[in-house]
Chains A and B, each alone.
Chain A
Amino acid sequence: MSKSVITIAKDFSRYPAGRYLSDGPCSGTKFREEFLIDTLNRNQHADIIFDGARGYGSSFLEEAFGGLVRLGFSKSKILEAFTFISNNDPTIPDEIIDYIDEAEEEK
């Protein structure tokens, strides 16, 4: 399994916001489609670095990661594929895991 690093502020946007593509230019759906799905489909591993962006609303995080579950990826596969690194706001990894759990419960 090859390993890569996704620094959201640098590789995607410093201004993540919104849920769907129609919500704005840097939505959770866009991030999921451009970065997460590809990593999962190739069975690769990526460190996702959250520091450096302005902030992360619940809509963005839920759609990006909870949305993976709705697309059929299991929690174990997601957590195996990604390591969440957030030094500035250490609550983000737990928040993401909550969204993944909630999306799984919903299935």
Chain B
Amino acid sequence: MKKPTFKQKIHYLRRLKRILKRHRKKSIGRYTKKSISNLPVLSAPHTLSISKNSSRNQLLKLINDIGRHVIVLEKDICISLKNIEQLKPSATLLFIAEIDRFIKLKKPDVKIKCEFPINRKVKQVFKKLGFFKMLGKQCNVATSHANNIQYWQFASGLQAEGEKTEAILDKYDGKITEALNSKLYVGLTEAMLNSHQHAHLMPRKDNLDNNITVKNWWMLSQEKDGVLYVAFCDLGVGIPETIPIKHPILWKRILLQKPSDSLIVKEATALKKTSTNKQGRGHGLNQMINSITNELNGRIKIYSNRGVYTSSGKNSMEDFKGSIHGTIIEWTIPIQRQEGKNYEQISNYHS
């Protein structure tokens, strides 16, 4: 090859400089276009959980801040998922449901952007649950074939649509007993029905000052170490708000005690009559609990507004400072009996 002359060398160098300059400009341009630095960034906490006060408050504050920016102030925002390291099914469901609700309520020109989680597994789970698609954001992370990602399932709907349970139950045909499959189907469809019939009797008290009601329900499941978690969520007014209206006699009885949200939920689960006082109606919550806890050695947690009522071997009630403004029913069912693994060990997954 012929050696370049001094003049040619200068020419090549100048050309290279020009190319580099152009490339740098292009990159800066691309960065500016994609940049979210001008938007208010609302950061998700390290753990998405609603069963511990501190993480629950952080999540509820995030949801409230997102709603205030997007719905009340009508401002574009960026949700940063960078810090998330741990996902609990019920809290993850609440977060996704709220974002879906905001998307349905917001004006079309208001944008919700997001920053991906740094944790690869968390990113994969959010992708598997359709979260990025919901926000119109492309995510190229491969959803691994590892069980911990594949066993997350998600569905949402409006009515008692039994077919939608297939998103969860289909995966367990032949793997769990037909009885368990059937109990879960009944539990989920009764929860859909409760959501459809009772959850939206009045406007939700979340201070978003919005007249439109999103009457959807959302559900997800996760399987981990032989335990199946199924969570169902509605963003209605919550059981403590509906009881005084739909069940005045029960409400009078509750008023004789100190009426916390968890107590109201507990009393609601014992209801066998409906608001119309007709026999045979309103068996839903009661049926859900008895079949799962008595027959299948599982556990049900019902979060509604500030309270949570847990029904398992031992029943318990707890109240928190912040309200989730809605109801989440969470089933925890051992689907693989392992020797030496008792219920206490299973319950540790959620603590």
| A interface, CB within 8 angstroms of B | 13-19, 22-27, 54-59, 62, 66, 88-89, 98-99, 102-103, 105-106
Contacts and interface: CB of A to CB of B under 8 A. Distances in A.
18 contacts: A15-B163, A16-B162, A18-B192, A18-B193, A19-B281, A23-B159, A23-B160, A24-B159, A24-B193, A24-B196, A25-B163, A54-B182, A55-B186, A57-B186, A89-B179, A99-B280, A103-B279, A103-B280
A89 B295 CA distance: 13
Contacts of B150: none
Secondary structure at the B interface, as helix, strand, loop or mixed, is helix
Contact of A59 (B169, B179, B181, B281): B281
B261 interface: no
B152 interface: no
A89 B182 contact: yes
Given A89-B182, A102-B280, A59 B190 contact: yes
A64 to B, nearest CB: 11
B245 to A, nearest CB: 19
Could you say which interface size class chain B belongs to? 20 to 34
Contacts of A25: 159, 161, 163
Interface string B290-302: 0000000000000
B189 interface: yes
A15 B279 contact: no
B206 interface: no
Given A54-B165, A88-B178, A18 B280 contact: no
Contacts of B182: 54-55, 88-89
B284 interface: yes
Given A17-B162, A24-B162, A54 B185 contact: yes
A62 B281 contact: yes
Interface string B146-189: 00000000000001111101000100000000110111111001
B190 to A, nearest CB: 5
Contacts of B186: 55-57
B162 A54 contact: yes
Nearest to A65: B280
A37 to B, nearest CB: 19
B283 A23 contact: no
B119 interface: no
B279 A102 contact: yes
